[in-house]
């Protein structure tokens, strides 16, 4: 009798469920576990192939009659912000992000709860407990950081850290060819700052400073208001049937 080695991925297919992006559609996902000694290597291969990570699960849409979900990655070395995006950077010039180990805190969870309750009260994360949140942050077999954004303090030029209340957070995977934004959230009462957009711009800057060519943004879904914003960050590459295709 033969057995599969622990590092060899096995793939599974979910049952159909309601699509969260396009009304009247159903979705299915193919998924596998990212565990073992090859966790980081496997995560990179799968991310480059259009998968996304959630804890120790890597998943990708596998819908029977729909290909609307398209993986997107920004070409960071060629990216130039538009006038609107430069205004977002200016409006948030008083913020600074501090990369930390992927350890959850009560302050993070409080911000997460305010964000979800205000923006996604009917979504899949609405019932997440503090334990669920802790698992989302900690349960990773890859190189994951939590980037906390706070206002610049008087010592920020020396320490590289912000001061005061936590304003935004991004859970980010560091890979050999880029950064992948796994999940982000922010203070919902500061909508006028466009904090979600600012965190993407800041990650583009971070990837470029690290000498990495890509920022992975997950799925762009044409016709979905939730995902349409990702088309703003060009030049980018989109993963189509025949590979990654540049879009300017």
| Three-state DSSP state, 119 | helix
Q: What is the count of structural domains for the chain?
A: 2
Average pLDDT estimate for 157-176 = 93
**Of 37-51, 68-82, 174-188, the least confident:** 37-51
Tell me: pLDDT of 2 over 80: no
Question: Is 216 a member of any domain?
Answer: no
b or e along 188-210 (b: 16 or more beta carbons within 10 Å of the residue's beta carbon)?
eeeeebbbbbbbbbbbbbbbeee
Query: Does 38 share its domain with 141?
Result: no
State yes or no: cis peptide before 224, omega within 30 of 0.
Answer: no
Bridge partners (DSSP) of residue 99 are: 147
- Out of 49-63, 102-116, 121-135, 189-203, pick the least confident: 121-135
Taking each helix axis as running N to C, give the angle between helix 83-91 and helix 195-209, from 0 to 180 degrees, rounded to the nearest 10: 100
pLDDT > 80? residue 191: yes
- Does residue 7 have a pLDDT over 80? no
Q: What is the pTM of this model?
A: 0.91
Regarding whether 87 and 192 lie in a shared domain, the answer is yes
Over range 176-186, report the average pLDDT. 97
Joined tokens for residue 221: 């879904």
Q: In what order do the strands lie in the sheet with 52-54?
A: 12-13, 29-33, 57-61, 52-54
Mean pLDDT of 180-186: 97
105: number of CA atoms within 13 Å, CB side?
12
Contact 38, 7 (CB under 8 A): yes
As given in the structure block, the two tokens for residue 13 are: 């297919």
The pLDDT assigned to 86 comes to: 97
pLDDT bracket for residue 31 (50, 70, 90): very high
Q: Tens digit of pLDDT for each residue in 9-22?
A: 899 999 999 988 88
Give yes or no: residues 31 and 112 share one domain.
no
Residue 39 pLDDT greater than 50, yes or no:
yes
Name the residue among 71, 61, 65, 72 with its Cα closest to residue 24.
65
Long-range (24+ apart) CB contacts under 8 A made by 93-96 are 94/151, 94/152, 95/149, 95/150, 95/151, 95/152, 95/162, 95/167, 95/168, 95/198, 96/149, 96/150, 96/151, 96/152, 96/156, 96/160, 96/161, 96/162
In this structure, is the dihedral angle defined by the CA atoms of residues 205, 207, 211 and 213, taken in order, positive or negative? negative
Going by C-alpha positions, the residue among 187, 199, 185 that lies closest to residue 233 is: 199
Do 88 and 193 lie in one domain? The reply is yes
Q: Do both 22 and 44 map to the same domain?
A: yes
Which of 8, 49, 44 is CA-nearest to residue 30?
A: 49
138 and 24 in a single domain? The answer is: no
Judgement on whether residues 94 and 195 belong to the same structural domain of the protein = yes
139 found inside a domain: yes
Residue 229 lies in a domain: no
| Residues 86, 192 within the same domain | yes
Which of 28-32, 38-42, 148-152, 187-191 is predicted least confidently? 38-42
- Mean residue pLDDT across the chain: 92
State how far the Cα of 130 lies from the Cα of 148, in Å rounded to an integer.
Answer: 18
Q: Does a structural domain hold residue 77? A: no
Chain segment 198-213, per-residue pLDDT in tens: 999 999 999 999 999 9
Instruction: Let me know: does 94 contact 73? Beta carbons within 8 Å.
Output: no
Range of 37's domain?
12-70
Q: Compute the distance between CA of residue 25 and CA of residue 223 in angstroms, rounded to an integer.
A: 12
For residues 113 and 137, membership in a common domain is answered with yes
- In this structure, are 137 and 107 located in the same domain? yes
User: Is residue 7 one of the residues assigned to a domain?
Assistant: no
DSSP 231: G
Residue 121 inside a domain? The answer is yes
In this prediction, residue 23 carries a pLDDT of: 87
Establish if 45 belongs to a structural domain.
yes
């Amino acid at each position: 009798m033969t057995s599969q080695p622990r590092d060899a991925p096995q793939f599974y297919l979910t049952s159909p469920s309601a699509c969260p992006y396009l009304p009247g559609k159903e979705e299915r996902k193919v998924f596998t576990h990212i565990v073992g000694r090859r966790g980081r290597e496997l995560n990179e291969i799968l991310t480059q192939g259009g998968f996304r990570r959630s804890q120790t699960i890597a998943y990708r849409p596998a819908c029977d009659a729909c290909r609307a979900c398209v993986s997107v990655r920004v070409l960071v070395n060629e990216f130039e912000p538009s006038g609107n995006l430069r205004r977002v950077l200016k409006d948030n010039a008083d913020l600074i992000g501090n990369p930390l180990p992927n350890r959850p805190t009560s302050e993070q969870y409080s911000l997460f709860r305010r964000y979800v309750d205000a923006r996604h009260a009917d979504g899949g994360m609405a019932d997440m407990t503090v334990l669920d949140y802790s698992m989302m942050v900690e349960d990773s077999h890859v190189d994951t950081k939590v980037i906390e954004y706070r206002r610049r303090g008087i010592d920020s030029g020396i320490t590289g850290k912000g001061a005061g209340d936590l304003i935004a957070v991004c859970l980010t995977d560091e890979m050999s060819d880029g950064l992948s934004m796994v999940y982000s959230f922010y203070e919902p009462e500061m909508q006028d700052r466009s904090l979600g957009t600012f965190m993407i711009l800041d990650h583009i800057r971070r990837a470029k400073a690290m000498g990495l060519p890509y920022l992975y943004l997950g799925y762009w879904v044409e016709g979905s208001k939730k995902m349409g914003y990702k088309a703003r960050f060009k030049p980018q590459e989109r993963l189509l049937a025949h590979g990654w295709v540049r879009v300017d």
